[in-house]
A and B are shown apart, each in its own frame.
Chain A
Amino acid sequence: MPHATPAPPRPATRTLGAAALVGAGITAAVDEIVFHQLLAWHHFYDRATPRIGLLADGLLHAAELIAVVAGLFLLADLRRRRAVAPLPAWAGLLLGAGAFQLFDGLVNHKLLGLHQIRYGVDLLPYDLAWNLAGAALLAAGTVLALAARRGGRAGPD
């Protein structure tokens, strides 16, 4: 019922956006720690990497660093104003994580050819698992975001 809450859902949108930044940053950090450092599946530099790929990767890497810090401070600011609801926060976290995972799997690994998930193996199952995981996170985030929108409109909260 639209007349129940006349206030615009801006804090919810901002929560979702800030949480998405954190989600993307966390996925990037997990990628760096688990696949680059612990498993050493990914390579720091792949001889097949084109120069334009290095530039794109550098920009993306810098953006991830800043995104996670920006997201955490934006969330802290919203929390201080008591404007964080759990549903949009989880939706944003999953959307950001899924979008980053899918972007990494499709653009970084395939389009730019920065590095592959693993070397010396048949890549198809790895690529499928990587991108399907991204799509699943994205789908879960979308479901939660829709639920958050319905919840925000329906009741007095």
Chain B
Amino acid sequence: MPTAPAPHGGHGPAGGWPVDPSAPLLLLLLAAAVAYLAAAAAQRWTPRGWSGRRCALWLLGTALLAAALLPPMAEWAHRDLRGHVLQHLLVGMLAPLALVAAAPATLALRSLPVRTRGAVAGVLRSRPVHLLGHPATALVLSTGGMYLLYLTPLYAAAHAHPPLHAAVLLHVFAAGYLFTWSVAGPDPAPRRPGTAVRLAALLAAAAAHSVLAKTMYADLRPHGSPHPPDQVRAAAELMYYGGDLAGLLLAVALFAAWYRRAGRAGTRRPTREAIRRGRQ
């Protein structure tokens, strides 16, 4: 049987799903947005408050996820590899950057009753979470997963079976979130390795990402897909530059956190040069 892709619109908006998944997905994202805003509003009354910037970042992250997963983009992503790359950039890199920066775990910890808070903090400090949240693990899960998707028959399989593609997208999001949090997340991360280790993980991820994009360009990967060569090359370039943007933003998040920490330390220990200049 020829491997022509099924015509779109024939099975309704979801193309291949028994039930249209976009309504429950939209509800889930709305629920996430409402829950965060409600918790943030409750925190507004406490002395510490909650930042409006973080609320905006959370809304941005959920909006990016909705834009990436709802039918217009989802159908383009199925037809066209450029759409697929854009969808994965949004789901695996840009949405996680905004969501991680919104510090949802900090908000949850502050909102929970004291007893539950202790239990959650215990889980965060546990050995499995420590191992899973190490930048090296997160790097293998996120970037390693991408190599698996584009260099093995997994892409063709996911393209043919929408539930498998949904599982792939869920992995891309979870691994992207984990990596972003492990490298530059403001949420509590007990026993997080130092800046040098996290920078090395970011360097390795950005390098591996650009090597994969150029390999896809050179070898016309993924194999076994219905996409024409010009589209694959354009998609690989989009992946390369999109990865640059995400890497740049993640580096900014990492160094901005360092800058704030150094500022707090710097108020106690100014350099000798600064003291000398200050006296003039």
A-B contact pairs, 27 of them (CB 8 A): A10-B273, A44-B217, A45-B214, A49-B218, A57-B211, A58-B211, A59-B203, A61-B206, A62-B207, A62-B210, A65-B244, A65-B247, A66-B203, A66-B247, A66-B251, A70-B199, A70-B251, A73-B255, A73-B256, A73-B258, A80-B266, A81-B270, A81-B274, A82-B273, A82-B274, A83-B273, A83-B274
- Contact: B215 with A11, CB < 8 Å? no
The 5 closest A-B pairs by CB, nearest first: A62-B206, A58-B211, A73-B255, A62-B207, A69-B251
Q: Is the interface of A mostly helix, strand, loop or mixed?
A: helix
With A69-B251, A81-B271 given, can you name 6 additional A-B contacts, CB distance below 8 Å?
A: A54-B218, A58-B211, A58-B214, A65-B247, A72-B255, A80-B263
Say yes or no: is B262 at the interface (Cβ < 8 Å to chain A): yes
Q: Knowing A7-B273, A81-B266 touch, does A65 contact B211 (C-beta < 8 A)?
A: no
Which residues of A approach B to under 8 Å, CB–CB? Answer: 7, 10-11, 44-45, 47, 49, 54-55, 57-59, 61-63, 65-66, 69-70, 72-73, 76-77, 80-83, 157
Q: Tell whether, in the assembled complex, residue A11 and residue B271 are in contact, meaning their CB atoms are under 8 Å apart.
A: yes
CB-defined contacts of B278 to chain A, threshold 8 Å: 82
Give the chain A neighbours of B244 by CB distance below 8 A.
Answer: 61, 65
Smallest CB–CB gap between B258 and chain A, Å? Answer: 7
Contact B252 A66 (CB under 8 A): no
Give complex CA distance A11, B276 in Å: 12
Q: Does B202 contact A (CB under 8 A)?
A: yes
Say yes or no: B259 contacts A77, CB within 8 Å.
yes
What residues on A are CB-neighbors of B255 within 8 Å?
69-70, 72-73
| Interface residues of B, count at CB 8 A | 37
Q: Name the residue of chain A whose CB is nearest to the CB of B272.
A: A7
Q: Is B248 within 8 A of A65, CB to CB? A: yes
Residues of B with C-beta under 8 A to A63: 203, 207
Chain B nearest CB, measured from A43 CB (Å): 10
Is there a chain A Cβ closer than 8 Å to B208's Cβ?
yes
A62 lies within 8 A of B271 (CB) = no
* A11→B247 CA distance, assembly (Å): 29
Tell me if A7 and B276 are in contact (CB < 8 A): yes
Q: Is B237 part of the binding interface, using a Cβ–Cβ cutoff of 8 Å? A: yes
Q: Which residues of B contact A45 (CB under 8 A)?
A: 214, 217-218
Q: Does B48 contact A (CB under 8 A)?
A: no
Asked whether A59 lies within 8 Å of B207 as measured between CB atoms, the reply is yes
Give min CB distance, A113 to chain B, whole Å: 14
- Chain A residues with Cβ below 8 Å from B206 are 58, 61-62, 65-66
Per the 8 Å Cβ criterion, residues 180-219 of B in contact with A are 199, 202-211, 214-215, 217-218
Contact of A44 among B237, B256, B276 (CB under 8 A): B237
